Structure 1
């Protein structure tokens, strides 16, 4: 941001005629690429252009896998899956077919990719982003180097794909080229979202997002032990009359 006193009069006059071309740190930025609503109004109001940005690296920093990060992405993924494929790369658990069906995520639209090494997973992700064969790419990685992050960020900018990278919340302290970073923590009947980084004013607020499919009894902030069983994959086959599977 440039101090007003340092702007030459002639330049100040020009800038005054182009308010749309100026971004101030105190204002929410406007993405050049389109965005997709998260499906949660409270979250959309905190995101530039009111939604998940396309052609951009989005980091979801989770306290623990299975706390509701997939539930948070559910509305967006269901919209994308209507016409495009979704790639799941290195998920912590195998996707549950019945749950995906209940989420209106057709099996024909999903690609589950399990690479042998981290290098293979990163290379696969980069190639999918570059060729634009999927509407969304979700990548799970515990350790990833800054150079790899930059490559993925550049690859995301060359495509019309929505790209979500799931990392441990401890990575919050690391620098990242991602223009949007959210820290996710478990909460009773939902999830707490902290805006770590965005193109807009800094926010110290914690935003609670109610996730209707989350069982209340499984989300208690007391100890990590209370959340351990949430990570267990849902059974592939359910008995008739049993509860609907939950993909968190």
Structure 2
């Protein structure tokens, strides 16, 4: 009974979104979505994420900075009036942290399904055309589930953002797979991360870039060793 109620509430919320939220003309015309970090966009064909695809962020440990990087793309999606759906079966997502980094929460759909319903919930969000970003943790992703999610993303036209452990990097993955590795550089305001494009459907992968992340503000800059005198910053709200 509880499971049926959770599913009914999820479907009701998604139907309501489809009735209220319309993609902006810019979103309809733009076939790709920016990651919000030009240095990463430059590593991808078409300089952005193809709509209707799954994107994985591989990290050695939780809290290494992968979510901060992924939030830059969420900001781009929200600027196009798309919904950000977070499927949080473990109740670990903390919305005020994103709000503190300048991410508006008006278009956040936070779903906390039963663990047994997490896979189903992600699939429904991916299928919904009003949802631009479906965000979830997926430590274990069976091939059958991955195929269902890919099909759902193609139908809905949004982006699935999955956070997974670094240990799965040699297994079959999503359409785009990033690997985040903390560098040894110590900074008072944050940290330096090396981000590698491990795989990308239909394109050569293998490029990487160092990024400086400010944990207090959520700002991301090109790594100082790479940027040199460059002063451009991709800041919260920029």
TM category, shorter? 0.5 to 0.7
Q: Which residue of 2 aligns with 1:29?
A: none
CA–CA distance in structure 1, aligned partners of residues 38 and 199 of structure 2:
19
Q: Which residue of 1 aligns with 2:171?
A: 174
- Of the structure 1 ranges 37-46 and 88-97, higher mean CA displacement relative to structure 2 is found in 88-97
CA–CA distance in structure 2, aligned partners of residues 36 and 202 of structure 1:
18
Q: Indicate if the aligned counterparts of 1:38 and 1:44 stay in contact, CA closer than 8 A.
A: yes
Q: Which residue of 2 aligns with 1:219?
A: none
TM-score (norm 1): 0.65
Unaligned runs of 5+ in 1: 1-32, 216-248
CA–CA distance in structure 1, aligned partners of residues 208 and 88 of structure 2:
29
Unaligned runs of 5+ in 2: 1-29, 186-190, 218-238
Q: Secondary structure at the match of 1:88?
A: strand
Q: Indicate if the aligned counterparts of 1:68 and 1:190 stay in contact, CA closer than 8 A.
A: no
Q: Secondary structure at the match of 1:100?
A: helix
Alignment of 1:78-89 (within 5 A): 78-82=75-79, 83-89=81-87
Instruction: Give deviations 1:89-130, integer Å, cap 9, x for gaps.
Output: 12766343433223332333112222222x411101111111
The answer to which structure has the higher strand fraction is: 2
Instruction: State the shift of 1:209 in Å.
Output: 1.9
CA–CA distance in structure 2, aligned partners of residues 84 and 62 of structure 1:
26
2:189 is equivalent to residue 186 of structure 1: no
Instruction: State the shift of 1:196 in Å.
Output: 1.4
- Alignment equivalent of 1:159, drawn from 153, 156, 161: 156
TM-score (norm 2): 0.68
Structure 1 segments of 4+ aligned residues over 4 angstroms from their partners: none
Q: Which residue of 2 aligns with 1:96?
A: 94
Q: Which residue of 2 aligns with 1:14?
A: none
Superposition RMSD on alpha carbons, in Å? 2.3
